[in-house]
Amino acid sequence: MKAFKGVVITLCGLGLLVFGIKSATYNATLMVFGSQTIGEVIAFDQLQRGNKRQYAAKARFEVAGEKYLVTADNYSSMGLYRTHQSMVVTYLPFAPSYAKLAHDVKVGDVSYLSIGIGFLLIILGFGQRTSRAQRAA
């Protein structure tokens, strides 16, 4: 049972680690190779938290005659955005569908936190799998 629990903990840690590395790599790639353009807020995704409503803006932007949509990563109050408001969008020139609103492009604490927790869970999982428990008779 301990070995199974250790494997599960290790796999969860590995998943968190991969998620953090993917997020950090994606944002770093946008920071280094990304181009910027002006997009227009066209709609909002809505999230209900308790009795508060929060929104994430959806912006449309155009690159080489093709239109793309990008949604904000973080939800916030409606006061920050207005429909038809201009926003800066960062995108990869060779793959414009990979885009973020400019204020969301940063290698932040979420990436580092999941990488750190992933490493700790992997270590804890290996410890669970390899530990030998003595039973009292």
> Does residue 68 sit within a domain?
yes
| Tally of structural domains, the chain | 1
- The pTM score is 0.55
Residue at 137 is within a domain: no
Is 47 domain-assigned?
A: yes
- Does residue 136 belong to any structural domain of this protein? no
78 within a domain of the structure (yes/no): yes
Run of H or E residues at 27: helix 2-33
Higher pLDDT, 34 or 134: 34
Residue 36 belongs to some domain of the structure = yes
Residue 55: per-residue pLDDT = 75
More confident residue, 134 or 132: 132
- Statement: residue 52 has pLDDT above 70: yes
82: buried, middle or exposed (CB in 10 Å: 19+, 13-18, 0-12)?
A: exposed
Q: Is residue 86 situated within a structural domain?
A: yes
Confidence grade of residue 1 (pLDDT, cut at 50, 70, 90)? low
Query: 96: domain range?
Result: 2-130
- Mean pLDDT for 104-116 is 68
| Dihedral over alpha carbons 3, 22, 55, 97 (to 10 degrees) | -140
Does position 10 have pLDDT exceeding 60, yes or no?
yes
pLDDT of 136 reads: 53
23 in any annotated domain: yes
pLDDT at 110: 61
Of all residues in the chain, what percent carry a pLDDT higher than 70?
77
